[in-house]
Structure 1
Amino acid sequence: MFARTSTPLLLASTALSLVPAVHSFYSYANDFVDPKFILAKNFSNTTVVAQQTILQWADEVAAKGPWAVTNKTITPPSGDKHDYMSWAPYWWPDCSKAGNTTELTPEQIWTTCTYVSRDGQFNPDVRTSGMNNIGDFSDMSDAVFYNALAWAINGSSKYSANVAQFVDAWFINPDTAMNPNLNYAQMQRGPTGQIGTHTGVLDLKCMAKIVPSILILREGKAPEWTSDLDTKFVNWTNSYLPWLETNKIAVEEEDSLNNHGSFYYNQLASLQILVGDTDGAKNTIQKYFNGIYQGQIAKNGDQPEESVRTHPYHYRAYNLAAMLTNARIGAYIGFDGWNLTTKAGGTIKDALDFAITKPPTTTEEDPAELYSIVNVIGSVYGDSDGSYAKWLLAHAGNSYPADASFLWNQPFSDSGIVAANLTQAGSNSSSNGSTSNGSSSANNNSQNSAAFLGVDFAMSMYFMCAVAMVLSFF
């Protein structure tokens, strides 16, 4: 299961098999995990609970699939259900001039009422189950991401088979495959017609999660990820990239100065990596850091484009996730963006340091939106004084080493939480015999440690999920 079989790792393996379920699945805004790090499996013993979280989340989200762009109940204006479709989230109907004498049906509202923008006020019908594609794509990308990680952790073919099935259904199978465009993403409804907007490009930002997942299976030679599947997915991507780079909708998104632009570069660069265009990906990341990034962070670390929004805490965290993902992609292909300064003199680290000083401003924001980001910054820049670990301990409690992202955001302190319990487990096990024989004392201590982490983690993440699953798409 693990790359080496030292006593500490045997203890970790024992604890991993005993951790109870962590029920609060969470979808990170975005990430790009280094496939080489995952495949090397040189995981710290302190990540044992994070590994179990990944396995549990992989099973949980996979149970919802498979997904297909054709499953929606509403047909796009093109008349082709293979076209991706979603609605703009902050636009609301004003039916005062519709001229109706009876109550309008939803379809009549969508086509006869004028729609007006209310920034930060989420129209709930945008995410009505099954009507459009945005929720399904989000679930599919998370399922691919966590199942690829789960395969790397324990080698079970069920996880790699899940990835193959989900990618095939969404991108490859001719009966269900998505057409390679976003012409009808985040449409603005109303009597003038329903057309896609540049903000809809954001809907596929999590291609940055899918790409390293495929690289893990490709480079790890998972039998279920066949050369035929790989070739067909690359072909789909090569058909989509020209749209993403030249279509008017996409170009407008690229020019966005806020998180929308940042996430655009996440998507483009990661897909260029998938098709083997490393030079193109490097140029894309350089263009981001030389371009819109230059105006995104003030000298004091504030993000002016995000602070003016109705949910500034959320949007600072949201754009931080996009900036971090661009830096991760850059690091993967040999470009260092971590220490680049903006024209005002700010860095990504400064942006995080500022963000953690500002409390949430509404009940729709939660400190948990920054948990994994604090972990990232601490692992990249170092945490010599322990301030980031202390912040996580103060806000997330003893649960933060149970977060899935704790696995790949290393090195980072677990504040002694996991290590202490593993040490105790080993001590008890040694007093009763070999650490590899699964003694009841070791098992009980490992299980108690995991329960202590897992339950606390579930409680602290529950509210975070409810809010972020709405906010994180826009």
Structure 2
Amino acid sequence: MISASIRAVALAAGLATALTAAPALAQGPVCKADDGYASAFEGRRTFRWKLQWLQAAKANLSDPSLAPAYKALIARADKALAGPYYAVTEKTRTPPSGDKHDYISMGPYWWPDPSKPNGEPYIRKDGEVNPERNTEAFDAVRMDNMASAVEALSLAYYFTGEAKYATKASELLYVWFLDPDTRMRPHMTYAQGVPGRTLGRAEGVLDTFRLLRVVESIGLLAPSGAIKPAEQKALEHWFEVYTMWMQTAPTGKEERAAKNNHGIWYDYQLATFALFARKPDLAKQVLASVGKGRIDPQIDADGKLPEELARTRGLHYSYFALEPLVGMAELGPCVGVDLWGYKGPKGQGIRGAFDYLAQFVGDEKAFPYKDLKPEDATKEALPLYDVAAWAYGDAGFAAKADQIAQQTPGAASRLTIAPYKP
């Protein structure tokens, strides 16, 4: 599915759905390197959560079209407020290192081999998720729950000004990242392992996409004072160490070399975490390489993403590869890189990918490649079309977004990005 990271961006921006003077919201303060929007946003160092959209939403919470989204947000935050804390040390399985501070997860598409007494080595069934990976033995669900709770609490704090939300968010962050007894060590050595085959895989680096929304949430909490200066520095240091691991570990290097969506997600994470860790030069280096390094080889002149079309869920993975490209295009202005307008030597670019995929919105059966659930893939793409409509001022993309929204009443993504109104 389209990751929580883009839904988080949407949740921040999309409460402004009812503001029909939408184009004006596209203007305003810009992201400034590793300072993000902080200088214009009362110290809130966000990078994709645009202050002009958040401020507009906050000023219009009584609007009938915003009330359901706001109610849902507060319900989610109140649930997190009363909910548990999360730590990697809670898992029932001990990592190969013998240290429960190390994150572990299992590859999603790997299943026990019925021809083997103990099922090992596991065999791959592309597109079919083994529910074993979501048990208490592993950390992926736990990390996702933590990130989701922090996101909801930070947004609730912003909109209500109630310190209780910021306090609980800061406590969740402390337990997961900083507490010596429960903290996660900043590496993914044992992520997406496969029983009987490998202790960890390069693909496991993708697991930390869940932390993209945590970075934005931390920024939103700044005025509360709930995160002490020393803790803020420690959080930034955690991500700095993680970016170093990403660049130097064998599995990190292998993931960076991936020619499909994994390589693009690697870049998106590295750029985001580098900005948060106050390493803007690294972020710029990554983003400046995306055109030639990712767009040129991974998007064809006709807009197809060939590496994703070979999968059993070709439409889903096309959007899943497009999502981090959209994320990096949104980060680009922070460091003076234009990815929205980039065109490769054959004319390939982000817009071309949208143009190709847009023809199948509402006509998924015409998609000429395999996908187990093509309609679901389109529904998940709603926030991408909303963002693209803003980026290109494109009424056609906005119409596609509206079409998807009509097929999915109450879609969560419409609570996150204000629909573009030409």
* TM-score, normalised by the number of residues in structure 2: 0.79
Which residue of the other structure, out of 123, 127, 130, is the alignment partner of 1:123?
Answer: 130
Partner secondary structure for residue 311 of structure 2: coil
- Give the equivalent residue in structure 2 for 1:430: none
* Within-5 A mapping of 1:7-156: 33-34=48-49, 36-37=51-52, 40-41=55-56, 45=60, 48-49=66-67, 50-60=69-79, 63-98=82-117, 108-109=118-119, 113-128=120-135, 130-156=136-162
Partner secondary structure for residue 345 of structure 1: coil
* Contact in 2 for aligned 1:298/1:342 (Cα 8 Å): no
- Give the equivalent residue in structure 2 for 1:224: 226
1:391 counterpart = 2:400: yes
Cα offset, 1:138, TM superposition: 1.5
Which residue of the other structure, out of 400, 409, 413, is the alignment partner of 2:417?
Answer: 409
CA distance in 1, matches of 2:184, 2:380: 31
Alignment CA distance shift 1:392-1:196 (3 Å): same
CA distance in 1, matches of 2:400, 2:419: 16
CA distance in 2, matches of 1:66, 1:141: 11
* Contact in 2 for aligned 1:85/1:182 (Cα 8 Å): yes
- Give the equivalent residue in structure 2 for 1:196: 200
Which of these two proteins has the greater Rg computed from alpha carbons?
Answer: 1
* Contact in 1 for aligned 2:309/2:317 (Cα 8 Å): yes
* One-letter code aligned to 1:293: I
* Contact in 1 for aligned 2:386/2:419 (Cα 8 Å): no
Cα offset, 1:274, TM superposition: 1.1
CA offsets 1:243-300 (integer angstroms, 9 cap, x no match): 1111010011111111111111121111111121112111111122331222222222
Root mean square deviation of aligned Cα: 2.7
CA distance in 1, matches of 2:89, 2:102: 8
* Contact in 1 for aligned 2:104/2:191 (Cα 8 Å): yes
- Give the equivalent residue in structure 1 for 2:244: 242
Partner secondary structure for residue 111 of structure 2: strand
Alignment CA distance shift 1:240-1:392 (3 Å): closer
CA distance in 1, matches of 2:76, 2:374: 24
1:362 counterpart = 2:372: yes
Moved over 4 A (4+): 38-47, 60-64, 402-408
Cα offset, 1:145, TM superposition: 2.2
CA distance in 2, matches of 1:403, 1:118: 29
Segments of structure 1 that go 5 or more residues without pairing to the other structure are 1-7, 10-30, 99-107, 416-474
Cα offset, 1:52, TM superposition: 4.0
Cα offset, 1:41, TM superposition: 4.4
* One-letter code aligned to 1:79: G
Which residue of the other structure, out of 375, 383, 388, is the alignment partner of 1:377?
Answer: 388
Partner secondary structure for residue 66 of structure 2: helix
Partner secondary structure for residue 206 of structure 1: helix
Alignment CA distance shift 1:398-1:247 (3 Å): closer
1:168 counterpart = 2:177: no
Which residue of the other structure, out of 259, 263, 266, is the alignment partner of 1:264?
Answer: 266
* Count of residue correspondences: 366
- Give the equivalent residue in structure 1 for 2:188: 182
Cα offset, 1:240, TM superposition: 2.0
- Give the equivalent residue in structure 1 for 2:32: none
* One-letter code aligned to 1:115: Y
* Contact in 2 for aligned 1:300/1:346 (Cα 8 Å): yes
CA distance in 2, matches of 1:58, 1:395: 27
CA distance in 2, matches of 1:44, 1:405: 20
* TM-score, normalised by the number of residues in structure 1: 0.71
* One-letter code aligned to 1:83: D
CA distance in 2, matches of 1:60, 1:379: 33
Partner secondary structure for residue 185 of structure 1: strand
* One-letter code aligned to 1:54: L
